[in-house]
């Protein structure tokens, strides 16, 4: 391998299919049996999409955005032996406060899941007098304890880094408005303790590329590589029929991730298949997680489709890093530290 995935385990049983024989311009290909989670996947749930998974003790676990039949999104826990076929709990995660009392958000959506030093953190969007970020931690997947909300409303798409950098926890997020936000850049914040967040830095903005010209938001937790932090994010454009969500890629500096080293000027995946173009909200590809294998450099991207399904796409570290570098356009607001 030309590049290395760092500080991540070998996941030899991760989901995988080789690239189709027919060559494509972009080295990201879909799982042939997509979508992997269809409609009505569990009792009282109409759709699961925009969800996050991690390898766990030889199998896989995840937190899932489940749009229930009462119309309220909540986070459900799921398990899988192969990362493809999932079993979900029949009730949403029963979050507790630090005293052990029930503490459910009014609604919760678009969860991410990150393991730092053996503790698993779920991060999602919820109501806090407007859309804001919620967080909880667990070590046993039975008790999930809510942490203080890291940021003021309005904010969405928060993603934790999988390790401290220069002694600080790092989180990407996207300040927004209370509606279907028609703007938005990715910022970085740091914390000594996962409670107090500050030193906010601009990472990158919506760009001059048309496919990401309205807003962008962090997607999967950053993957640490020998070239920097590999980030799959969503980029949104506006059409006369509404927003279109594509998957983009960038590589952030390892020591100062508010600096973008490479940023791909093309999308890596855009709605083309029926399950991406057609659904509750058409034309949405929304990445929330990857599973990656440090030994082979294989990467599986989990993405929500049309606010209705979950699908899988694949790439390899060498191919995606080379592709991002070859198509990189980094502007001043990307390459600077992001402090004004």
Site of interaction with ligand BMA (CB under 6 A): 50, 109-110, 180, 281, 284, 286, 304, 307
Nearer to ligand BMA, 110 or 185 (CB): 110
Least distance between ligand BMA and beta carbon 110 (Å): 5
Angle subtended at Cα 235 by Cα 320 and Cα 230, rounded to the nearest 5 degrees: 35
Residue 81 C-beta: closest distance to ligand BMA, Å: 27
DSSP 8-state symbol, 66: E
Cα–Cα–Cα angle for 304, 211, 267, nearest 5°?
Answer: 65
Neighbours of 220 (CB within 10 A): 24
We find the least distance from the C-beta atom of residue 85 to ligand BMA, in angstroms, to be 23
Report, in Å, the least distance between residue 180 CB and ligand BMA: 6
Q: Which is nearer to ligand BMA, 150 or 279 (CB)?
A: 279
CB-nearer residue toward ligand BMA: 248 or 304: 304
How near is the Cβ of 265 to ligand BMA at its closest, in Å? 23
CB 322 within 8 A of CB 316: no
Please state, in angstroms and as integers, the Cα–Cα distance from residue 209 to each residue in 130, 205, 237, 325, 332, following that order: 30, 11, 9, 16, 15
What are the residue ranges of helices labelled H in 190-280?
A: 274-277
Minimum CB separation of residue 327 from ligand BMA in Å reads 25
Q: Which is nearer to ligand BMA, 86 or 109 (CB)?
A: 109
**Choice between 5 and 133, CB closer to ligand BMA:** 133
- The answer to whether 20 and 44 have CB atoms below 8 angstroms apart is no
Least Cβ distance, residue 120 to ligand BMA (angstroms): 21
- 45-56 and 29-30: which strand pairing? unpaired
Helical H segments across the chain, by residue range? 274-277, 317-326, 332-335
CB-based closest residue to ligand BMA: 281
Q: CA 244 → CA 78, 172, 277, 298, distances in Å? A: 28, 22, 9, 27
**Choice between 180 and 331, CB closer to ligand BMA:** 180
Of 110 and 293, CB closest to ligand BMA? 110
């Amino acid at each position: 391998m030309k590049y290395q995935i760092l500080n991540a385990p070998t996941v030899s049983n991760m989901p995988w299919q080789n690239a189709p024989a027919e060559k494509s311009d972009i080295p990201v290909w879909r799982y042939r049996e997509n979508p992997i989670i269809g409609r009505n996947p569990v009792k009282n749930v109409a759709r699961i999409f925009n969800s996050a998974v991690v390898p766990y003790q030889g199998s896989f676990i995840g937190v899932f955005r489940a749009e229930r039949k009462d119309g309220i999104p909540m986070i459900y826990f799921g398990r899988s032996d192969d990362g493809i076929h999932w079993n979900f709990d029949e009730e949403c995660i029963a979050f507790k406060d630090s005293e052990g009392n029930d503490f459910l958000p009014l609604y919760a959506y678009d969860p991410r899941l990150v393991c730092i030093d053996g503790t698993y953190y779920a991060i999602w969007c919820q109501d806090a007098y407007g859309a804001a970020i919620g967080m909880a931690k667990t070590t046993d997947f039975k008790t999930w304890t809510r942490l203080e909300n890291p940021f003021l409303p309005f904010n969405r798409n928060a993603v934790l880094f999988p390790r401290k950098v220069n002694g600080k926890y790092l989180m990407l997020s996207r300040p927004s408005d209370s509606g279907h936000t028609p703007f938005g850049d990715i910022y970085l914040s740091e914390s000594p303790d996962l409670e107090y967040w500050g030193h906010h830095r601009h990472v990158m903005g919506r760009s001059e590329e048309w496919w990401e010209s309205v807003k962008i938001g962090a997607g999967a937790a950053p993957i640490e590589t020998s070239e920097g932090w590999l980030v799959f994010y969503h980029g949104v454009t506006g059409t006369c029929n509404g927003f279109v969500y594509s998957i983009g890629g960038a590589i952030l500096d390892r020591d100062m991730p508010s600096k973008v080293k490479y940023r791909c000027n093309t999308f890596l995946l855009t709605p083309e298949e029926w399950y991406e173009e057609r659904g509750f909200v058409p034309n949405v590809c929304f990445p929330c997680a990857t599973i990656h294998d440090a030994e082979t450099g294989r990467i599986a991207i989990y993405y929500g489709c049309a606010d209705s399904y979950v699908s899988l796409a694949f790439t390899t570290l060498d191919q995606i890093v080379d592709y991002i570098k070859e198509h990189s356009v980094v502007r001043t607001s990307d390459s600077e530290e992001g402090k004004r």
